[in-house]
Amino acid sequence: MKKIILALAGLGIVFGAVAANANPEADRMKIVNYLEHRNPDVKFDNYVYGALAFDADAKSQYDSIMDFPPFIGVIEQGEKMWNTPFKNGKTYAECMPNGGKMIAGNYPVYDEKLGKVVTFEDLINDCRVKNGEAAYSYSDMKTMGVLTSYARTLSDGMKMNIKVDGPSAQKAFDDGKMTFYKRTGQLNFSCANCHLDNATNHLRSEILSPVLGQAVHFPVFRGGENLVTLQNRFVGCFKQVRQVPDKEGSTRYNNLEYFLSYVSNGLPLKASVFRK
């Protein structure tokens, strides 16, 4: 294990330096080209499967599980929440663009008026507040987690379509990029050490998933009905490198999600799937 950790920590040479003069599309293509060069037999769209795209047996297991997913009851619970009217009689669909369908791939988005990145979860909470309901906590899997397990499936098949327009949006993108590449915690790891420099390599029995495609399939169900959202996974990763995590919905995590989502532009969304 010590050798593995040293290898992970030492391979931050390809992408470890954050180029101040790079633009978002140059950043994205640098990552795409790097991964495609390393994995020439993997089609671009197959990155939606994460580490499963590099393990035929695991992908076969995934396909079998997704035929009869054990977590379908949770998604159906989210559908019920989505369709249950607020106290004023209105629904989520009435206060969202296109009734909430085929929109999740546009989020996160930088809102100039608010001066910050707005996530899909923020959109849900804005809808709730405007209709006289209390906002949900990002970290509450029984409310926000369950609701988004259904709400994001309404955009399945939509290609990720994140925009970075203007200097303020660029600043937020660059902040997310910095978080991705910056070493942190007692183990001195960055997100990039595992999910770019060592992506598709094995860590013990598991394959490290590539950053490309990571933002398109959350929430995920790990094991049976263990629901995990993207920012909940951020918290877990920070803890694993022995860094005190932010609260979900923090500026740093929202900007990180903005960066990761942009990197996956062009990949189709497929939410609420099985992961190991």
- Tens digit of pLDDT for each residue in 198-248? 999 988 888 999 999 999 999 999 987 899 999 999 999 999 999 999 999
Rounded to the nearest 10 degrees, what angle do helices 251-263 and 167-181 cross at?
90
Q: Per the structure block, which two tokens stand in for 142?
A: 């029984």
Asked if the model's pLDDT at residue 60 lies above 50, the reply is yes
Separation of alpha carbons 57 and 71, rounded Å: 21
What the chain holds in terms of domains, given with CATH numbers, is 2-69+163-275 (1.10.760.10), 72-155 (1.10.760.10)
Burial pattern 119-155, b for ≥16 Cβ within 10 A else e, equals bbbbbbbebbeebeeebbbbeebebbbbbbbbbbbbb
Separation of alpha carbons 96 and 32, rounded Å: 32
Asked if the model's pLDDT at residue 17 lies above 60, the reply is no
Are 169 and 110 a contacting pair, CB within 8 Å? yes
* pTM: predicted TM-score of the whole model, two decimal places: 0.92
Per annotation, catalytic residue among 95, 127, 191, 237:
237
237 assigned to active site: yes
In percent, how much of the chain has pLDDT > 70?
Answer: 92
